[in-house]
Structures are given as structure tokens and as C-alpha cells.
Amino acid sequence: MPLLIGTDDGLYRADEIPFEKGDADRVLDCGRVTQVDDLDHADGVFVCSTAGAYRSLDGGETWSELDVPKGDRYWFEGDSIVFTVHASPDGALYAGTNLPAVHRSFDGGESWHELDGVQKLPSRSRWESPEDPKRARIRNIASVPNMKDRLVMAVEVGGVHRSDDGGETWIDLRDNIPEDDVHQILPLTEDCWLAATGYFDLDLEHVGLQTGLGHATGWGGLYRTTDAGETWTRLDQNNDYSYIRRVFTHDGTVFFSGAIGAPPAWANDTHEAALFESTNFGRTFERVEFPGEPHEVIEDWVVDDDGDLLCGSGLFDIPTPRTDIDGRIMRRTDDGEYETVGLVPSSVGRIEVV
């Protein structure tokens, strides 16, 4: 059961779990990895990164680059980045970049065309990103269960948006959710979705000098909608660990890891991180101990072939990548405890079983 591990310094592959540091091989030198997914409705496993988007048809042994249009950059970040790739039930591929733009392919990634409806959203002129005030990031695109043409999109910083016609046109939901720094949308049913959100750290000197405090100055947190994005309720009320990158559900439990402090604070450990679980769908959350406390943030989860829950942590995707810490792979035991089952030389952001 190989595990693909996306880090700040490329993609690693561990052939067995547990594994020792040094056992996992770097199989793709692609910079920071923003997605690793064995997508439903598409052949192969997909990787998005600062170097481009890739697909493997042999379980991660070899890779071919997807020629997603990225456009030209002229601001802080340099080259555009493909942040996410998604496959809809009809087999179409969608790619989101930090131009920001969304492209669609009907031929398995051989050719792409931009969905210009994204640029026509009323709030588009107000989208920004932490590093680049003239741009934003399409953090993830997801299909909605039982509705083949409905897509949802998370924008950092730009809120949540919905398409009911496969991406041709989009409904602007930015002002409906209290936080516009949206990192992930996780659809659970047609109308019930979860949103993981963050915020700017207002103590940073560059905030205000470059961006103007018009957005992303809230409290972050985990949100739920039950009416397809029209209204939202914060689930983690009174939670200080409210900078949240990802949320995951498995076997009736909701999981998320949050931090006190936005990523620039992670560079010198002036933050604290925690892991939470809910067995009553967000009515209450219990804080759970895990290796790597108090600073490592869990970024991603996956269920392996044996039904075990795996997760990865570190201090991923911060302005200056940390080279002094390892990325950690953990397994949740049958009694609900977390144990380290592998280490890689760089912080873990995404994982996938192949």
C-alpha cells in the first residue's frame, strides 16, 4: 500500500507503513505540493505544485506534466501556480490557478479552455491573496453529491462560489460566509458543505502596506451550510485555534486541526496548534493529543486499504519554508490515539494512498 506524500520540497513515496526517515523516496522534484489526489471519475493520480500539475498512471512511479494554462505573472509570486485539479462525474477535468482562473478539459487534460464566468463574478475585483494583493488562489474545486452539474469553489482570498451548470456560469456567494479567506470546501450532500477558513495576522508589518485590510481580518473557523451556500453557521464557536486549512470526515467523525496565529507566525513558533474531533457532526468538539504538539499543524487525512486513518503534519506552506523540522505521518489507532508511523525531510501538506 504505497503512500504519496506532498511536502514543501516535492513529492515522496513510501512503499510501506510504518517507515523510517530516509525510507521514503522523492519521486517528483516539484517544489511545494498543493494537492495529491487519486481522483474519482479520472484515470491516475494527480499532483499540483509550484512547478506545475502532473498525472501518474502507474501509482506514482512515473509522471507526465499536464499543460494547464497558467498565464503570466508580474507581482510577488512570480510564476502562476496550479493549485487544484478536479474531475467531475462526467469525466471533465477542472484546474484552478492563482491567476486566478479556472480551466476545463474534456479530453483528459490534452487541451484546456478558461471558464470566463469566474472572471465575471461580481466580487472578482475584491479577490486578493496573502502574498500577492493583485491575485487570489483557487484553493479547491469540488463536485456536489447527486448533482452532476453542481460545482463549488473555494477562493483564498475571495470566498465561496457555486456553479449549477458545470462551470459555465457561477453564483457569487462571497458575502454570504462571514470569512472570505476560504481554504477548502467539502461537500457532504447536495446542500450541506463544510468550509475551512483562515485569516490575516494583523500584527504583521506587511499587512496594510500591501493589502489594505479590506478582507481576511476575521477570526477564521469551521463553517457549515445546509442551503447550498446561502447561509453559514460557525461550528467551532469560541475556538481560539481558528486558522484552519483542511477538514475531513470519516465514519461519522469530523476532524480538523487549527492554529492560534496565521502562517507567518509559524516561522518562529510564535503559534500553537491543536487537533479536534467531533462525533456529533459539529455540535461539540473534543481536543485530542497528537505527536508534534504544540506547533505542528495537521494538513491532510486519508483512509488506507485497511480502514486506518492516516494524517500528515508539519509547518507547511509558510513564507519561509522550515528546514529544521521533519514532516510527520501519523496513524489513528483503534482506541483513538495518534502514533507516528513515518518521517520525511520536509513538512507534509497532502497525502494519498495509491
Q: Which of 2-6, 81-85, 132-136 has the highest mean pLDDT?
A: 2-6
Q: What is the structure's pLDDT at 212? A: 47
Share of residues in the chain with pLDDT > 70 (%)? 91
246-291 pLDDT, tens digit each: 999 999 999 999 999 999 899 999 999 999 999 998 999 999 999 9
Asked if pLDDT for residue 215 goes beyond 70, the answer is no
Phi, psi of 122 (to 5 degrees): -55, -30
Q: What is the structure's pLDDT at 131? A: 63
Confidence label for 210 from pLDDT (cuts 50, 70 and 90): very low
Q: Which of 69-83, 125-139, 215-229, 336-350 has the highest mean pLDDT?
A: 336-350
CATH number for the domain spanning 206: value is 2.130.10.10
User: Can you tell me the mean pLDDT for 163-171?
Assistant: 97
Asked if pLDDT for residue 119 goes beyond 90, the answer is yes
> What is the arrangement of strands in the sheet containing 253-260, beginning at the earlier edge strand?
243-250, 253-260, 272-278, 286-288
Three-point CA angle 32, 103, 49, nearest 5°: 5
User: Can you tell me the mean pLDDT for 45-51?
Assistant: 94
Read off the amino acid at residue 147. M
Length of the chain: 354
Asked if pLDDT for residue 22 goes beyond 80, the answer is yes
Q: What is the structure's pLDDT at 134? A: 64
By residue range, what is the domain housing residue 177? 3-353
CB-hemisphere CA count at 13 Å for 165? 7
**Distance separating the N- and C-terminal Cα atoms of the chain:** 7
288-307 pLDDT, tens digit each: 999 999 999 999 999 999 99
Q: In 3-state terms, what secondary structure has residue 266? A: helix
Task: Say which residue, 100 or 70, is predicted with more confidence.
Answer: 100
Contact residues for 174 (Cβ-Cβ < 8 A; gap 6+): 121, 123, 126, 155, 158, 159, 160, 161, 180
Q: What is the structure's pLDDT at 76? A: 47
Pairing mode, strands 309-314 and 327-332: antiparallel
Burial class (CB in 10 A: 0-12, 13-18, 19+), 334: exposed
68-93 pLDDT, tens digit each: 987 665 444 456 789 999 999 999 99
Q: How many domains does the chain have?
A: 1
